[in-house]
Amino acid sequence: MKILVVSQYFWPENFRVNDLSLGLQEQGHEVTVLTGMPNYPSGSFFSGYNGCNRWREDYHGVKVVRVPLLPRGKGGKLALALNYLSFALLASVIAPFRCRGHYDAIFVHEPSPMTVGLPAIVLKKLKKAPIFFWVLDLWPQSLSAAGGVNSKAVLAGVERMVAFIYSHCDKVLVQSRRFIPEVERFDVDTDDILYFPSWAESLYRPVARSQSLREEFSLPEGFYIMFAGNVGVAQDFETILSAAEKLRDCENIHWLIVGDGRKSGWVEAEISRRGLQETVHLLGRHPLERMPEFFCFADVMLVSLKRDPIFAMTIPGKVQSYMACGRPIVAMLDGEGAQIVEESGAGYSCPAENAEELARVVEKMASMPKLEREEMGGRGRKYYEEHFERSRLFARLESWMEQFKG
């Protein structure tokens, strides 16, 4: 098949749509990706991109077609709105001239914004190809939960846009089963909603613990609990740092933060203000290829989201990555994500935004025999292979596309 992937984000930005595109290409399909100029998460264009160059690229055999957009800057509301709208508008206008020829299917990657569906609809009309719309972030709920948008008029307008986009999709794929009722309320037929969870790239696997990381970052010996990924509003670092404060006297417990994002500056300032420099360590952002090395250096991995009904429906993508590496997990989550960690036996969960419970669970994990923690990680790896394994999910998606084509 000839498949067009529409995503505002793509390599060299780190999103699973990169791996999905490669996986479809490895299956023998011809894959083209329509995307913007890379600027996530820093807010400025990546080195080598200036917004007006490198319109066509090759990513390991996947054709990449880029359109200009306004970078997200520091992530303020206006900057993000312009970033989202500029891609939707310019992709809708330019893509028909750059994505020529026939396509058998259009796959839309939507981790936010929902506006990515608009250029896909334009291309559907021109190419007569079905749209498979993968919902990773529910709108308008996430706009109020993580984006701080509270205007009733704005949210009502977004609802109308979401309804319009869903009405033009042939199949809506959801990353969590709890998303299904939220999509159904937009009059999407149940038969047109398909469960398609995230996976972990094949590089995520158990590896030997690297002692060199301790030297690289001048870390003291002790018990390491690691957060890896986006340092944003939704991840609730205020509660994480409050839990670290409660365990300040447990000098062997060290909190490692790998990644960056909109809240990185705030987190760094808070660590200093709260006097947590001895136990909370910012390790910065590193290439995706190094993540298994970091994960397997940690004793326990941390996943967190703020308390909100929308987040309770979500399975954070890092859950699959942690499980694939066979690491025990502490989940400060409500709902679906916490349920998966608990039912898999991969670790412990505690309610969102509860610093006292998070501190208690971390202290419990730190006092547990290492073998017991490793057995948790092993159970998580087994659960991952049964429910989230990459090749199984890709085969499922390929089957849906082939059936629809037929």
Domains of the chain (ranges; CATH) run: 2-199+389-405 (3.40.50.2000), 212-387 (3.40.50.2000)
The pLDDT value given to residue 146: 65
Question: How far is 112 from 47, CA to CA, in rounded Å?
Answer: 24
Alpha helix segments (H runs only) across 73-216: 77-98, 117-127, 141-145, 152-167, 180-184, 212-216
Mean pLDDT lowest for which of 90-99, 286-295, 396-405? 396-405
Neighbours of 264 (CB within 10 A): 19
The pLDDT value given to residue 294: 97
CB 275 within 8 A of CB 264: no
235: which DSSP letter?
A: T
Helix/strand/coil for 115: helix
CB contact burial 285-294 (16+ within 10 A = b; e otherwise): beebeebbbb
Is the per-residue pLDDT at 343 higher than 70?
yes
pLDDT in tens, 307-325: 989 899 999 999 999 999 9
Q: What is the mean pLDDT of the chain?
A: 94
Question: How far is 380 from 366, CA to CA, in rounded Å?
Answer: 18
For residue 40, report the phi and psi dihedrals to the nearest 5 degrees. -105, 135
CB contact burial 302-329 (16+ within 10 A = b; e otherwise): bbbbbbbebbbbbbbbbbbbbbbbbbbb
What's the whole-number mean pLDDT along residues 103-119? 96
Question: How far is 367 from 348, CA to CA, in rounded Å?
Answer: 14
pLDDT in tens, 123-176: 999 999 999 999 999 999 888 776 678 788 888 999 999 999 999 999 999 999
What's the whole-number mean pLDDT along residues 5-20? 96
Neighbours of 125 (CB within 10 A): 11
Task: Give all strands of the β-sheet with 223-228 in edge-to-edge order.
Answer: 280-284, 253-258, 223-228, 300-304, 329-332, 347-350
Name the pairing type of β-strands 56-59 and 171-174.
unpaired
Is the per-residue pLDDT at 75 higher than 90?
no
Overall residue count recorded for the chain in this entry? 406
Gyration radius of the chain over CA positions: 21
Helix/strand/coil for 176: coil
pLDDT in tens, 199-223: 999 999 999 998 899 999 999 999 9
Is the per-residue pLDDT at 196 higher than 90?
yes
Task: Give all strands of the β-sheet with 193-195 in edge-to-edge order.
Answer: 56-59, 62-67, 30-36, 2-6, 105-110, 131-135, 171-174, 193-195
